[in-house]
C-alpha cells in the first residue's frame, strides 16, 4: 500500500528530490531494476538520492513473526530515510510494509509517529509517477504483448491502476488480459519455503493462466513475484521473459532516444 492521496503535494516541489529504497532483491538479484528506476525518475526531472546505509524494509522478519527484529530493521530505515523527501521504491511489497505493516508493528511503540511519518512518504514507483507527479502517459515505444501480474501487496493502493495507465499509453505495447488475474503467484516470501508444495502449485496455476494468453513479456511491480514465476518456468521448461515495470519504461525511453537519433542523422544527411 503506497502513500495516500494527501501526499500528492510532492508534485509541486520544483526540485523533485526523492530518496530511492532499492530493496534487498535489487541488491541481490535485480541490479538492473535499480538502474532502470533511477533512469525513469531522472527522466521525470527528479534528483535521486541513494542513502548508502539502507538495508531492508523489515518485512521478512515481520511476516515470520519476529517482530522485535522487524522493529530493529524499521528503526534503522527511519534513521536512514530521515527528512521530508518522498521515498520511492520499485516494489509494491516493500512500499506496503512501510505504509501499512509498519503501522501495525509500531502501534504501541513510543516511536510510532516517526514510523508513520516515513510511511506517508513511501511510494511504489508507478504510483509515485501517476499520483505523485501527475504523469499518466509514457513516451517511447515498446513492441510486444505484455501481461501484467498484479502482486497481492499492490491491492488497496493506486499501483495497479498506475501500471495499467502507463503501460497502455506506450506505443507498440499491447496490454494482454488473462484469466484469474487476481490470483496470488504463490511466492509469499517465507511461505514459499515453509509450504513449498502449495507455493509451487499456486505458481504453476498462475503460469498456466499467464502463458495461455501468449504474452511476449510478463511484467510486475514486484521482483519477488518475478523471481518465483521465472524460477518455476525455468524448472518446468516453459519459455518466459519477465521484466519489472521500471525496465519496460526505461526500455521504451531508450527506444524513443534511438528513434530520435536516427531521425536526426537522417535529417543531417538530407541537409548536405
Please report the pLDDT score of residue 191 as a whole number: 86
Please report the pLDDT score of residue 156 as a whole number: 75
Q: Which CATH code, of 3.30.70.360, 3.40.50.1860, 3.60.21.10, 3.40.50.800, is assigned to 141-252?
A: 3.40.50.1860
What architecture does CATH give domain 5-132?
3-Layer(aba) Sandwich (3.40)
In this prediction, residues 14-18 reach a mean pLDDT of 75
DSSP state of 10: G
Q: Which DSSP helix (H) or strand (E) runs through 235?
A: helix 223-235
DSSP state of 12: G
Cell digits of residue 45: 526531472
pLDDT digits (tens, 9 = 90+) for 213-231: 999 999 999 999 999 999 9
Q: Which DSSP helix (H) or strand (E) runs through 47?
A: strand 47-49
* Structural domain spans, the chain: 5-132, 141-252
pLDDT digits (tens, 9 = 90+) for 55-106: 999 999 999 999 999 999 999 999 999 999 999 999 999 999 999 999 999 9
33: pLDDT strictly greater than 80? yes
> Is it true that 5-132 and 141-252 share their CATH fold?
yes
Strand arrangement of the beta sheet that strand 171-176 belongs to: 171-176, 141-149, 217-220, 242-244
**Residue, of 195 and 264, whose pLDDT is higher:** 195
pLDDT digits (tens, 9 = 90+) for 165-216: 999 999 999 999 999 998 999 998 888 888 999 999 999 999 999 999 999 9
In this prediction, residues 1-5 reach a mean pLDDT of 39
Query: What confidence tier does 15 reach under pLDDT thresholds 50, 70, 90?
Result: low
47: pLDDT strictly greater than 90? yes
> Who's near 51: CB < 8 A, 6+ residues apart?
19, 80, 81
pTM above 0.75, yes or no: yes
Amino acid at each position: 500500500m503506497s502513500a495516500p492521496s494527501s501526499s500528492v503535494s510532492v508534485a509541486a516541489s520544483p526540485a523533485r528530490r526523492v530518496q530511492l529504497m532499492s530493496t534487498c532483491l535489487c541488491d541481490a538479484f535485480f541490479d538492473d531494476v535499480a538502474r532502470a528506476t533511477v533512469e525513469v525518475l531522472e527522466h521525470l526531472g527528479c534528483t535521486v538520492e541513494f542513502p548508502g546505509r539502507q538495508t531492508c524494509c523489515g518485512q521478512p522478519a515481520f511476516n515470520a513473526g519476529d517482530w522485535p527484529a522487524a522493529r530493529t530493521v524499521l528503526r534503522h530505515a527511519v534513521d536512514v530515510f530521515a527528512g521530508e523527501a518522498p521515498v520511492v521504491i520499485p516494489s509494491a511489497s516493500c512500499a506496503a510494509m512501510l505504509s501499512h505493516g509498519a503501522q501495525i508493528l509500531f502501534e504501541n511503540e513510543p516511536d510510532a509517529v516517526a514510523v508513520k511519518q516515513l510511511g506517508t512518504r513511501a511510494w511504489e514507483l508507478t504510483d509515485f509517477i501517476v499520483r505523485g507527479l501527475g504523469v499518466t502517459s509514457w513516451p517511447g515505444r515498446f513492441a510486444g504483448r505484455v501481461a501484467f501480474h498484479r502482486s497481492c501487496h499492490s491491492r488497496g493502493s493506486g499501483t495497479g491502476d498506475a501500471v495499467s495507465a502507463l503501460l497502455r499509453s506506450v506505443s507498440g505495447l499491447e496490454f494482454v488480459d488473462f484469466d484469474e488475474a487476481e490470483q496470488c503467484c504463490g511466492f509469499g516470501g517465507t511461505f514459499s519455503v515453509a509450504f513449498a508444495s502449495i507455493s509451487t502449485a499456486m505458481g504453476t496455476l498462475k503460469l498456466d493462466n499467464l502463458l495461455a494468453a501468449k504474452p511476449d513479456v510478463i511484467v510486475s511491480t514486484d521482483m519477488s513475484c518475478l523471481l518465483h514465476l521465472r524460477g518455476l518456468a525455468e524448472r518446468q521448461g516453459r519459455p518466459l521473459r519477465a521484466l519489472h515495470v521500471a525496465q519496460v519504461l526505461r526500455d521504451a525511453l531508450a527506444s524513443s532516444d534511438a528513434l530520435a537519433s536516427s531521425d536526426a542523422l537522417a535529417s543531417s544527411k538530407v541537409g548536405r
